[in-house]
A and B are shown apart, each in its own frame.
Chain A
């Protein structure tokens, strides 16, 4: 029975969308894209509900999620009333859902291109920053001389928001995309360095002693004991780095990039087409949350030994 509630919610949204006329203040779209989306959602949910009749796992998932799913569509109904149907909110800044979905559909080629540009920037910048941070952190953690000279520098340079380097980065690098990669790397480098070094410094001495009685050499001490023991910390650093890199990515793209999601949003804002701004935001939300959950997967795999010991 409970599983039918989201179905009712989607049907309600669909019914109001189809029956009530749109406000004349909202520009019309080539097709009722929001209606298409709702029909699609209805179909997907019906399929899942049907599967849940046979699959224990799907049933448990839907029983856990049905209030949330219903809530989402009730919210969409309300939003639809406020924008398309009665235009209570200013139509310029709050476009109808039809227009947002129209932007998503009609501009999909450009959005995909922007997404791939952003992804490339993010991957290059993130990997460089994470590797550099890991390397710096390991050096600080294991070498007192490096720690003496480099830690203060990390502490002074690290807290500067990397977007504050934009003026310098634009001079130092020949292209805007290289400058952006550098800035993203910088924003990842700092948290990774700090968490890696503090993780290694805090590894219990007993583990190093235990390793040394087997004749472990310096390299093995670092990579067989220090780094695995510090892994939970290192992952925290990598996580903070991901969040920082998203911020830097979108900000950096707003200055002098040719494509990219940040550039797209900024450009559409200047054109006053807010429907496209929302479409860009939706793409960012979806892709970044996919990235984050991939990272969670990776962490769960790498730190499976912590299961039952630490709650995340």
Chain B
């Protein structure tokens, strides 16, 4: 099994022109076991997206090291797939060309043409091969960008609020899609999310982060059998535990007035 991610003492500060420097991450240590599904959750400004971008290699840490299967992460590469919050499909390529983009970049397209069609099928986009991104719905675009990342057979798939822009039903649909891919391809999946239900439904581990400076607050193991019932008692209990940790538990919300 591949896809082990090791993060050692990583810190990252962003210089800002308008105000003081912001410490986005402070001394993060994390070990993500191969083939696990991990969610990063926390209020805005806790550095969860920064951490994901560090793992991708899109940005570099100020100090500390990151490793994928023992090799230091220095720059982005195909072995870490990335699904952005906004789909970032290239508007000048049609859907099929977008999905084939990574293969073409690596010079593997001619040998793997059939794989492109397989993935288009798998994410349910058959018949839309020649459509351009602006002609597709948000959900279709996000599925295409999922296929675009997965066709590279990455060791780890990094997702930055991949479902943030979708409606609730489409979102649940896509969550099952993620699980299907994850269980059949057995890769490490790391997802940044705002949605507690989503984190509990999908993850083996939920990493709660706290802001200013961005730190890991707590790691919660979700020990629920799959498929998970979204309204089961244990599910709700995990949900409450996370919400409490994020100070949205509700126990402090005493009403000010009684009618």
What is the interface of chain A, defined by CB distance below 8 A to chain B? 206-207, 209-216, 220, 224-225, 228-229, 231, 305-309
Are B105 and A213 touching (Cβ within 8 A)?
no
Are B90 and A229 touching (Cβ within 8 A)?
yes
What is the interface of chain B, defined by CB distance below 8 A to chain A? 56, 58, 75-78, 80-82, 84, 86, 88, 90-94, 101-102, 104-106, 132, 134-135, 149, 152
With A206-B84, A215-B78 in contact, do A228 and B135 touch (Cβ < 8 Å)?
Answer: no
Are A207 and B88 touching (Cβ within 8 A)?
yes
Are B88 and A224 touching (Cβ within 8 A)?
no
| Central interface residue in A207, A216, A229, by most chain B CB within 10 Å | A216
Distance in angstroms from A13 CB to nearest chain B CB is 48
Q: Which 3 A/B pairs are nearest by Cβ-Cβ distance?
A: A214-B102, A213-B82, A210-B88
With A213-B56, A216-B105, A308-B135 in contact, do A207 and B90 touch (Cβ < 8 Å)?
Answer: yes
Residue of A213, A229, A309 touching B78 (CB-CB under 8 A) = A213
Across chains A and B, the number of contacting residue pairs, with CB separation under 8 Å, is 65
Are B152 and A214 touching (Cβ within 8 A)?
yes
With A224-B105, A305-B92 in contact, do A206 and B86 touch (Cβ < 8 Å)?
Answer: yes
Are A231 and B84 touching (Cβ within 8 A)?
no
Please, how many angstroms separate the alpha-carbon atoms of A225 and B92 in the complex? 9
Please, how many angstroms separate the alpha-carbon atoms of A212 and B80 in the complex? 11
With A209-B58, A213-B56, A215-B105 in contact, do A305 and B132 touch (Cβ < 8 Å)?
Answer: yes
Are B90 and A214 touching (Cβ within 8 A)?
no
Q: Chain A: interface secondary structure?
A: helix
Are B134 and A308 touching (Cβ within 8 A)?
yes
Are A210 and B84 touching (Cβ within 8 A)?
yes
Distance in angstroms from A200 CB to nearest chain B CB is 14
In the complex, chain B residues whose CB is within 8 Å of the CB of A206? 84, 86, 88
6 CB contacts below 8 A, A to B, read A206-B86, A207-B88, A209-B76, A209-B82, A215-B76, A305-B94
Q: Which residue of A lies closest to B102 (CB)?
A: A214
With A214-B105, A216-B105, A231-B92 in contact, do A309 and B134 touch (Cβ < 8 Å)?
Answer: yes
In the complex, chain A residues whose CB is within 8 Å of the CB of B90? 207, 210, 225, 228-229
Please, how many angstroms separate the alpha-carbon atoms of A209 and B91 in the complex? 15
Are A214 and B135 touching (Cβ within 8 A)?
no
Are A211 and B93 touching (Cβ within 8 A)?
no
In the complex, chain B residues whose CB is within 8 Å of the CB of A231? 92
Please, how many angstroms separate the alpha-carbon atoms of A212 and B81 in the complex? 10
Distance in angstroms from A216 CB to nearest chain B CB is 5
With A305-B93, A308-B135, A309-B134 in contact, do A214 and B106 touch (Cβ < 8 Å)?
Answer: yes
Q: Which residue of B lies closest to A307 (CB)?
A: B132
Distance in angstroms from B87 CB to nearest chain A CB is 9
Distance in angstroms from A306 CB to nearest chain B CB is 8
Are B78 and A214 touching (Cβ within 8 A)?
yes
| Central interface residue in A229, A305, A308, by most chain B CB within 10 Å | A305
Please, how many angstroms separate the alpha-carbon atoms of A228 and B97 in the complex? 13
